[in-house]
Amino acid sequence: MCGIVGAVAQRDVAPILVEGLKRLEYRGYDSAGLAVIDRQGVMGCLRRIGKVRELEDALGEKPVQGGTGIAHTRWATHGEPSERNAHPHTSDDISVVHNGIIENHEELREQLQDLGYIFASDTDTEVIAHLVHHERKTSTTLLEALQKTVVQLTGAYGTVVIDRREPDHMVVARSGSPLVIGYGIGEHYVASDQLALLPVTRRFQYLEEGDVAEITCGKVEVYDRNGALVQHEIIDSDLDHEAGDKGSYRHYMLKEIFEQPEAIANTLEGRLTEAHVAVESFGHNAREIFSKVEAIQLIACGTSYNAGMVARNWFEDMGIPCRVEIASEFRYRKAFVAENSLFVTISQSGETADTLASLRLAKDEQGFIHTLSICNVPGSSMVRESDMAFMTRAGAEIGVASTKAFTTQLVSLLMLVVAIGRCKNRLSESDEATIVAELRELPGVIRDVLQQKEAITELSEDFADKHHSLFLGRGTMYPIAMEGALKLKEISYIHAEAYAAGELKHGPLALIDSDMPVVVVAPNNELLEKLKSNMEEVRARGGQLYVFSDPRAMLVAGEGIKVITLTEVSDLLAPIVYTVPLQLLSYDVALIKGTDVDQPRNLAKSVTVE
């Protein structure tokens, strides 16, 4: 969702804030702003609608400088994207940035209005600014005012507050929206994501739920929800400093698509022995836990949910019952929990609000034996709150449309399936050895598929003037069709729907005409003949097919059918491999349509609100 950066230093922090915002822009990008206080206690505030570069241009014309500052890039929830709704929000001397949603903001707004406060925006955040201002009158410190404020808030917040009258520090609070403190030499920072601060530090302390902290140049003091002084571990980030750069690529998405061979190799690194998946890579007690597991519950949102859909097939092929559900549905119904079930969240960010809420529900109220997080961000809420964590190691993913995070999730899930299968004797040693050998080949196979870029670019020209499209697949390729459709709609704004191909004649066939491209993922597997019949149904109605297949499937291009032939791969690896050409197709279509590939309209990378 939105991005936060803050800094306290002896030097001007505005450049640190702007660089941080640029690195966080993928999280929200409808407006941006900053507030900086100089040593004389003069506060400069600048806000702009649009992207961070608008703010940067405005700063060029009207510089603000100072040693203490906060900044924010916004993804609107309460109040339209506009300059007056952009953060920071101020109340006289107080200035505030906030991520999350204050659910009781209307009630608080009324109370504050009765006290004489005048609201300048439609946001929920502004109540924090006025409340801190109000509480500051009867508090000895700004921190105390923030502590008195947060107990009145219902909802989710990661917030940073500065006060013009006390220019040497900032105070922060976290509940339901992540904040990380960065340690520099003689200066300190805060951000909603490590990535923002990598140019200035690699040393981080994550705040826990309910924490508040006071940050000055010389010290950081963190207090838990009971007011006790605490010190969480300070970690050294292993994220690459260059992680936020596009390099020579035109878009992050393209860079991230092409990084997949390396990302997958990293996911596998040190986790495979000669012929086994190292079960301990899921945790020191994973072997004991996995032996007891009798069923799996996978929970995720968006692209991560599609990864879960593939994994369900893999688990059940091995005779291990597996359910997969969208987090926002799961958390609001009484789900059946099978005995000895393992609860697994799949999340790139580890912060998605619904997935995190489901995890908390699973831990607090449901009878799951253990929780595991498959995640890409070390130190994220899900990783910290799960019993076990398995990092996908995709590296920073900036493009809003998920690519390498998805394929590394699939690889991680496949390793999980193998590990549990072996612990439960559902998988023979020789079958495990075969899968391990295939996994080792995977980066090379993906490299081959990436060579098809030009052929896929040619196909994409057919899509650019279309308004609708269908994606078809069967078995494990049905979720890949779902992922292909999701990618296309996200970044090209072409309406794309995925269907299990067998469902075609139960409705979507009525839509088929020459204006409705139909993409089919059709590797040679035991469902191919069925799929070919479905393709004939499309062709017979004048539909145009775009088929991704392999040489053994013997599909030939002709009237109404274009075929991209990929390297032959095993059934198990096919979902991972066939994802890649669909990513490239969406990218190329978006390029022709001229949409904002990395930051598609209305979307955000990390959805930390419900």
Binding site for ligand G6P (CB under 6 A): 301-304, 347-349, 352, 355, 400, 402, 603, 605-607
Name the strands in the sheet holding 295-300, side by side, starting at the edge strand that comes first in the sequence: 322-326, 295-300, 341-347, 370-375, 388-391
Distance CA 306, CA 480 (A): 7
SS (H, E, C) 269-315: CCCECCCCECHHHHCCCHHHHHHHCCEEEEEECHHHHHHHHHHHHHH
302 vs 378, which CB is nearer to ligand G6P? 302
Q: How far is the CB of 490 from ligand G6P (least distance, A)?
A: 7
DSSP reduced 3-state for 406: helix
Amino acid at 284: H
355 vs 549, which CB is nearer to ligand G6P? 355
Q: How many CB atoms lie within 10 A of CB 502?
A: 15
579 and 406 Cβ atoms separated by less than 8 Å: yes
Q: How far is the CB of 375 from ligand G6P (least distance, A)?
A: 8
Q: Estimate the crossing angle of helix 477-492 against helix 574-593, to 10 degrees.
A: 20
Q: How far is the CB of 401 from ligand G6P (least distance, A)?
A: 6
Distance CA 92, CA 319 (A): 64
Tabulate helix, strand, coil % of the chain (nearest 5).
40, 25, 40
Q: How far is the CB of 116 from ligand G6P (least distance, A)?
A: 40
Picking from 104, 91, 40, 48, the residue whose alpha carbon sits closest to that of residue 68 is 40
β-partners of residue 222 are 213, 230
Q: How far is the CB of 349 from ligand G6P (least distance, A)?
A: 3
31 vs 304, which CB is nearer to ligand G6P? 304
**Residue from 2, 217, 322, 423 carrying the catalytic annotation:** 2
Position closest to ligand G6P via CB: 302
264 vs 299, which CB is nearer to ligand G6P? 299
Q: How far is the CB of 198 from ligand G6P (least distance, A)?
A: 19
Amino acid at 63: P
- State in Å, rounded, how far the first CA of the chain is from the last one: 11
Beta-carbon-side half-sphere exposure of residue 457 (alpha carbons within 13 Å): 8
Distance CA 379, CA 414 (A): 23
18 vs 585, which CB is nearer to ligand G6P? 585
Distance CA 576, CA 573 (A): 6
266 vs 348, which CB is nearer to ligand G6P? 348
Distance CA 77, CA 99 (A): 10
Establish whether 605 is a catalytic residue.
yes
Picking from 155, 192, 177, the residue whose alpha carbon sits closest to that of residue 70 is 192
Picking from 344, 346, 345, 324, the residue whose alpha carbon sits closest to that of residue 335 is 324
CB burial of 111-147 (b: ≥16 within 10 Å; e: otherwise) equals bbeeeebeeebebbbbbbbbbbbbbbeebeebbbbbb
Q: How far is the CB of 20 from ligand G6P (least distance, A)?
A: 20
**Residue from 22, 404, 487, 605 carrying the catalytic annotation:** 605
Q: How many CB atoms lie within 10 A of CB 277?
A: 25
Picking from 245, 285, 261, 193, the residue whose alpha carbon sits closest to that of residue 4 is 193
Establish whether 2 is a catalytic residue.
yes
26 vs 548, which CB is nearer to ligand G6P? 26
584 and 401 Cβ atoms separated by less than 8 Å: no
383 and 249 Cβ atoms separated by less than 8 Å: no
Beta-sheet pairing, 370-375 with 388-391 = parallel
Q: How far is the CB of 43 from ligand G6P (least distance, A)?
A: 34
353 vs 470, which CB is nearer to ligand G6P? 353
Q: How far is the CB of 108 from ligand G6P (least distance, A)?
A: 29
Q: How far is the CB of 252 from ligand G6P (least distance, A)?
A: 12
Q: How far is the CB of 606 from ligand G6P (least distance, A)?
A: 6
Q: List residues with catalytic annotation.
A: 2, 605
